[in-house]
Structure 1
Amino acid sequence: MRWFKKDPLQIIGFRSYGTDTHFYARGRALEDESIDLEDQHIWHLIVNTWKRFETDEIKGVGLDLKLPDNTIIKVTTDDSGYFLAQENINGLKALANDEGWLSFELSYNDATIKRTIQNRNRFPSEILIPSPKADFGVASDIDDTILHTGVVSILKWRVIYNSIFRHAKHRIPLEGSAEFYHKLHRGASGKNANPIFYVSHSPWNLYRYLELFLRQNNFPKGPILLRSLGNLLRKKPQDEKPQKQKEILNLLKTYPNLPFILIGDSGEHDPDIYMEIAEEFPDRILAIYLRSVKHKKKMIRVKGLIENYKTTQVLMVEDSKEAIAHAKAHGFIA
């Protein structure tokens, strides 16, 4: 007799990026815990948070990624259920829509697997192939850059409170940030379609939560690049780069002819990471925008860092109006 019914299986495709000749996609195979993104009652918010972090991953399983032209890419999930698909394939741009999004289908490649919802072993995902009209890309943090999270609060209690007790639909973006990002997306001509990449230290467990927040608040659609909870908790070697830095470096490698604007906040490590990247790629980083946070010691430290920094433009801003004025003055936006 079965006392507990097993949850159905799912595959979450993380919105990623690529080029006309390089396919790069990530995601995770998990049991479907039926997280309700719409329910806003406090008890459901607590339960949903528990489900996000108490995941039942499907490790060592084979997956098929089916492209619109029926090309099949095969991958195997790791011990945490994650997969990474990297393939050199010509003509990917022709498979994307007018906005550069290439949709594909994920499935378990074991035909005997029946534990998917309604036995539909098909899950959507997509990658962005930036438009040739793009003048630059934007790599932006999320926490305290476009979403107030309280990363500088004592013991980060505000982060914990906001993540558990506040629905994504009730989270308020920092004023003017969506407008600024749309202006950057449209660029100087108003028709550039500059790609926006959202790069955060948040774990992949919050992917759907952050995806809903960005969509709900009308931010430009873009890849969302987070990190695994395992990497968040493990002790790193002293010389290992932060995951956010690795992600941005991979963007610079993937798009060698595309300069970037970096956007973050002055509360944590964004200034150090961004300035180190600019030192390595002085001709590729057009500007660094850092949103000021309400923490006196951290602000003093960051001001000291950028006081004599000449490699690229670093602007500390109190609000989006300052960033918009600067971007307009330097020809980044119309």
Structure 2
Amino acid sequence: MGLLKKDPLQVIVFQSYGTASHLYVRGRALEDESINLEGKHPIKLLINAYKRFETDEIKHTILLLKLPNGKIFETVTDNKGYFLIDLTIHGLDALTNEEGWLSFELAYKDFTSTRIIQLENRFPGEMLIPSKDISFGVASDIDDTILHTGLVSTLKWRVVYNTFLKRASKRSPLEGAAEFYHLLHRGSTGKEANPIFYVSHSPWNMYRYLEFFLTKNNFPKGPILLRDFGNFMNRKKNKEKPQKQREILNILKTYPQLNLILIGDSGEHDADIYLEIAEENPDRILAIYLRSVKHKKKMLRVKGLYENYKTIPVLLVDSSKGAMEHARENGFISETLL
């Protein structure tokens, strides 16, 4: 009978973003598989990777969200355990901290207490409402931009190794990236709270892994925006814009007064996506920073793509140092904090 014992329940709340009158919360209800992000043994790492993608979702169940002012709202998970709370509620900015983060709790409406991993059936979540003390926002890729993944490696073998056979605690950020992002976050005065949006093509199954990596390596906290693993093939079939592109366009739509700096790499599709966004929104994009990759053909293609583009600054940089120098010269970051 012990083999049939069910795992405790959990709710993973994805860090999201909204406005003073728009509550937007995404997440997933799952059985807790006790994934150890500090695990060391290769077999355990493979088991953990399997658990991330072979999830036991809690379908069609009612969840409750409680705001700091005591107001409670209901939502229902779909057939994959995902939920979305998308409501118009005024005065949310009054509930945030000085950085603009709104904290709240989620809970299962109906549950058996022995299956809840956290005391009193409480699962914390946060949503960013950018504070008024900002000059711009940053939309950044993750893979091969701040985290070495190996997307340009032959047959993607480095992607497989880094993702499945390397624990999150041992993944190293690209040199200088965390420092650069903190400088951007603090802006030209050194006292701002410019929002950082982490936008990746990775599936939501990787959320906890990436959240752990960003926190452990001292990156500024920001919404982590990933994709539904099941929609990967559908996007190609329907010829929709890439998820990363749609997310950045939605950020621009959500905050009409917010200009963005776009940061990515030259390895995959960031250069194409960012160019299209900049051409559609020439007055909203302040700069594009693309980290160079060790792939001659890809670098030549990206250089050709931007060869005649002069509307906004575009830098292909080998390290964060070059981007920092440009950001300082253009008043994006403080000179005194360098």
**TM score, norm. by length of structure 2:** 0.95
**Partner of residue 180, structure 1:** 180
Q: Which residue of 1 aligns with 2:115?
A: 115
User: Which residue number corresponds to residue 63 of structure 2?
Assistant: 63
1:287-302 matches, within 5 Å, as 287-302=287-302
TM-fit CA distance, 1:93: 1.1
- 1:28–1:118: structure 2 CA closer, same or farther, 3 Å change rule? closer
Could you report, residue by residue, the CA deviation over 1:169-214 in whole angstroms, capped at 9, with x for unpaired residues? 1111111111110110010111111000100001111111111111
Q: Deviations over 1:79-123 (max 9, x none)?
A: 211111111111111111122111110111225675212663211
2:256 matched residue in structure 1: 256
Alignment of 1:232-251 (within 5 A): 232-234=232-234, 236-251=236-251
2:250 aligned counterpart, secondary structure = helix
Deviations 1:250-273 (A, max 9, x none): 111111101000000010000111
Structure 1 segment 314-329 matched on structure 2, within 5 A: 314-329=314-329
CA–CA distance in 2 between the matches of 1:173 and 1:112?
41
Give secondary structure in 1 for the equivalent of 2:4. coil
Provide the rounded CA distance (Å) in 1 between the counterparts of 2:233 and 2:154: 19
In structure 1, stretches of 5+ residues that fail to align are: none
Q: 1:183 to 1:48 in 2, by over 3 A?
A: same
Aligned partner letter, 2:319: D
Counterpart for residue 313 of structure 2: 313
CA offset digits 1:219-263 (Å, max 9, x no partner):
111111111110124453353110111111111111110100000
Cα gap change, 1:251/1:118 in structure 2, threshold over 3 Å: closer, same or farther? closer
> Against the structure 1 CA distance between its residues 90 and 48, is the aligned structure 2 distance closer, same or farther, given a 3 Å change threshold?
same
Query: What is the identity, as a one-letter code, of the residue corresponding to 2:76?
Result: T
Alpha-carbon RMSD across the aligned residues, in angstroms, is 1.5
Name the CA distance, whole Å, in 2 between partners of 1:54 and 1:195.
Answer: 33
SS at match of 1:78: coil
Say which SS state the counterpart of residue 236 (structure 1) adopts: helix
Instruction: Tell me the SS of whatever aligns to 2:115.
Output: coil
Distance 2:184 2:2 in 1: 55
Q: Tell whether the 8 Å contact from 2:61 to 2:77 is kept in structure 1 after alignment.
A: yes
Change (3 A) 1:45 1:111: closer
TM-score (norm. length: structure 1): 0.96
Structure 2 counterpart SS, 1:182: helix
* Between 74-83 and 133-142, the greater mean CA deviation after superposition: 74-83
CA distance in 1, matches of 2:231, 2:128: 25
The residue identity in structure 2 corresponding to 1:291 is R
| Structure 1 outlier segments of 4+, above 4 Å | 111-114
Give ranges in structure 2 of 5+ residues lacking alignment.
none
Give identity over the alignment, percent: 68
Equivalent position SS for 2:249: helix
Q: CA deviation at 1:316?
A: 0.6
Q: How many residues align?
A: 334
